[in-house]
Amino acid sequence: MKRKYPLRPGSNAGWEYKAQIRPSTGTADQKESYQITLPRMGDLWPTGEELSGFRAVMLAFERYNWALGMKVLECFRMKLGFKADFFTEAHDPQSPDYLSTLRLLHYLGMENATAEDLRYWRAGAHTDFDCLTLLHQRPDQGGLQLCPGKESDKLEWTDVEPLPGVVTCNIGDMLMRWSDDKLLSTLHRVRMPKEGESLGSRYSLAFFCQANRNAVIQGPEKRYEPITAYDYLQQRIAANRL
C-alpha cells in the first residue's frame, strides 16, 4: 500500500524508503518514513478502506504538535525581542505556503544484520533545517543521541532515553539563523542497537516547525541578509548534497 503514495520531489509529502543520505556518513539512513505537509497532500492520503481513521487522527495530531511547537517558539520569541505572535504568524497553518511537516518514522529491524551492518547508523549525524523539531519516541526503543557544542573539537554524544509523556525538542538551523546564532541547532543521530538491546524495528514521530515559504528570516541584530524560508531551505538542501 505504501508504494501507492510515494514522496514527490520537492513536496516533502508522501512515503520514502532509505532515501536520505547523510554527508556525515555517505550512506543511506536505515529507515522509511511518511511525510504529512498539509497543503501538499492532495491524493497522498490512504483511503478509509486502506487505513480506517488514519487521516483524522493524523490531522488532530498534526495540530496538537503545531500548538505545542508554537508555545516553545513563543518562549524564544520573548527572549529574542520579536513582536507578539511573531513565530505563530510565520507558521500560519491556514496559509497555502505552510511548510511544517509531520513525519512518521520506521527504523528498519536489524534482526538479520551482520556485524558490518551494525557499524553504521540508523540515522547519521545531522542538524535539522527547520526552526524546531518535536520528537515523540516509544519507550524501550532508544537510540537517539545529542551532541551539544558541535563547534568544539571534541564531540561528546549523550543518549536521550525515551520516557513516557516526554517530548524531545531540537533547535534547527532556521531558528539558529533567525536568532543571529544565539540559539544553536542541535547535532543529533540515531545509533544502532547496543549489545543486549532489541534488534527489532524502532518507531518515532517527528514534527518539524518550518516557517511558511514567504516568511522572511532575519534576526533582531540583522547579522545576516534577509531571506525567505523557502529560499533558505533550498540553500540548505543544496548544501547537503555537496
2 lies in some domain: no
Rounded CA separation 173/232 (Å): 10
Specify if 5 maps to a domain: no
Give every CB contact of residue 44 below 8 A, 6+ residues apart in sequence.
5, 8, 13, 14
- Under 8 Å between Cβ of 151 and 166: no
**In-domain check, residue 8:** no
Is residue 213 situated within a structural domain? yes
Structural domain that includes position 66? 19-240
pLDDT for the residue numbered 103: 97
Domain count for the chain, please give it: 1
Closest CA relative to residue 104, chosen from 190, 186, 15: 15
For residue 42, the domain's CATH number is 2.60.120.330
Structural domain contains residue 9: no
Residue 62 lies in a domain: yes
**pLDDT tens profile 109-138:** 988 888 887 878 899 899 999 999 999 999
Residue 8's pLDDT band (cuts 50, 70, 90) = confident
Secondary structure letter of residue 91 according to DSSP: T
Residue 150 confidence (pLDDT) above 60: no
Residue 83 domain-assigned (yes or no): yes
Task: Provide the whole-model pTM.
Answer: 0.93
**Alpha-carbon span 66 to 158, nearest angstrom:** 27
**Residue % of the chain over a pLDDT of 90:** 73
Is 11 within a domain? no
Average pLDDT of the residues in 42-66: 97
